[in-house]
Every structure is written in C-alpha cells, then in structure tokens.
C-alpha cells in the first residue's frame, strides 16, 4: 500500500507540473470553467474544485481521491482546440477506441452493476440520492422506470437509466454519455467517471451509509 501511494503521488505531481504549463485562460471558454487567481475552478457532480500547478483541492482545501484528481487533471490537460457538442446519448462501449474496449468490464462492474446492487428494489432511494447530487429528471423516450441526467463536468453529462425488477424481468441499469465526451476525456477517465457517479450515489443514499 505504501508503494502504491508513492506511485499515485508521483503521477499526481506529474499532472500538477503539466497543469502549471497550461494556458488556463485560453482553456476556460472551451472547457466551460472559471479561472480565479491563476487556478481553474471546475465543478464535478455539482462540487467545485480548484486546479493549478500547486495542486487539486476541494473547497475545504483538501485533496480529493486519487481517481478524482486524475479525472480533473485530464479534463484540463486534454482541452481540445474548440468546443465539441454532440448531445447524442451513447453507451461506453460505443467509444470506438481500443482503450475504451479494455475498460468495458471495469465500467460495467464498477458503475452499472454497482448501482444495480445498491438500488434494485429501492427506486425511491435512488431518486433521492440522484436529486442530492443535482440530478435532473430526463425523459429518454423509452420505457424506463427511472431516468436522470447529471452534470458530471461543465461539458459532460451522464444519463442514468434504471428499470426495477418485477415478476418477469430482473433489474436493469444503464449509464450513458453524450457522444462529445470522448473529445474531453480519455476512455479510462470516462470509465472512472462512471464509477465516481456510482460511489457518489451510494454515499448520497439517504437511508444507508456507503460501504466499500
């Protein structure tokens, strides 16, 4: 564990060095973020984080989890040359890159399966948890018991679709991305973002504390 922490810290410091060389003012309009005092201010699932060469911190001055640091750093570092906007909802496996295919199983287990495990038979709790994260009801035009869109990052939304189990069918969960998300984050970070949504929903469950 100590060795793993050292590896994480090395990567984190490398991200910070790269961010220090970024033109945050130029990236601000493309990424839909603010710049304050030389720091990028980026909202992730409704919570603001400050990003600069000095580090990545929440509003309390604490460093978030390593996974979230990676997502936020990559969002800034992978800034495209223009704003891309294709709001078509697609599944993670629809991102036709080799790196996406290698992360399909991780996305399925740590995002969709994790939400199913926690919330099947508990639809009211799922809705309450989603609202606590700033989710908004969304009609996908299909027969789902529950659908809610989340502002993951300024340019990226996720759509959560959920059918509860009944006498004839098991519960079903799908998490979709807007197609243009692939221009803002790499497949690994997109997969990690889905897992972050699942963990955040579990933590926001109004009736149970989150269990790892």
With a cut of 70, which residues of the chain have pLDDT below it?
1-4, 97-102, 208-212
> In whole angstroms, what is the distance from residue 76 CA to residue 26 CA?
11
Task: Copy the structure tokens of residue 120.
Answer: 């099947």
- Residue 210, pLDDT score: 43
Given phi > 0 = left and psi -120 to 50 = alpha, else beta, which region is 10?
alpha
Q: Residue 191, Cβ neighbours under 10 Å: how many?
A: 24
- Residue 8, pLDDT score: 86
Each residue's pLDDT tens digit, 88-140: 999 998 887 655 566 888 889 999 999 999 999 999 999 999 999 999 999 87
Sheet order of strands, 156-163 included: 89-91, 172-178, 156-163, 146-153, 136-137
Distances (CA, A) of 97 to 9, 22, 104, 181, 186: 28, 26, 11, 13, 9
- Residue 190, pLDDT score: 95
Task: Copy the structure tokens of residue 150.
Answer: 């989340």
- Residue 212, pLDDT score: 37
């Amino acid at each position: 564990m100590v060795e793993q922490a050292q590896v994480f810290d090395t990567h984190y410091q490398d991200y910070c060095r790269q961010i220090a060389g970024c033109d945050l003012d130029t990236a601000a309009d493309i990424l839909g973020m603010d710049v304050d005092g030389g720091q990028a201010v980026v909202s992730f699932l409704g919570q603001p984080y400050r990003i600069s060469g000095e580090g990545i911190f929440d509003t309390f001055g604490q460093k978030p989890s390593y996974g979230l640091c990676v997502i936020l750093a990559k969002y800034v570092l992978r800034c495209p040359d223009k704003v891309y906007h294709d709001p078509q909802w697609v599944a993670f496996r629809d991102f036709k890159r080799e790196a996406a295919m290698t992360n399909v199983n991780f996305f399925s287990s740590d995002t969709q399966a994790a939400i199913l495990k926690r919330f099947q038979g508990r639809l009211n709790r799922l809705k309450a948890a989603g609202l606590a994260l700033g989710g908004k009801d969304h009609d996908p035009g299909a027969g789902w018991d529950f659908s809610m869109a989340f502002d993951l990052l300024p340019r990226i939304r996720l759509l959560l679709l959920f059918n509860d189990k009944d006498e004839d069918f098991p519960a079903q969960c799908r998490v979709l991305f807007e197609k243009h998300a692939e221009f803002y984050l790499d497949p690994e970070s997109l997969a990690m973002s889905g897992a972050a949504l699942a963990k955040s929903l579990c933590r926001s469950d109004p009736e149970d504390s989150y269990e790892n």
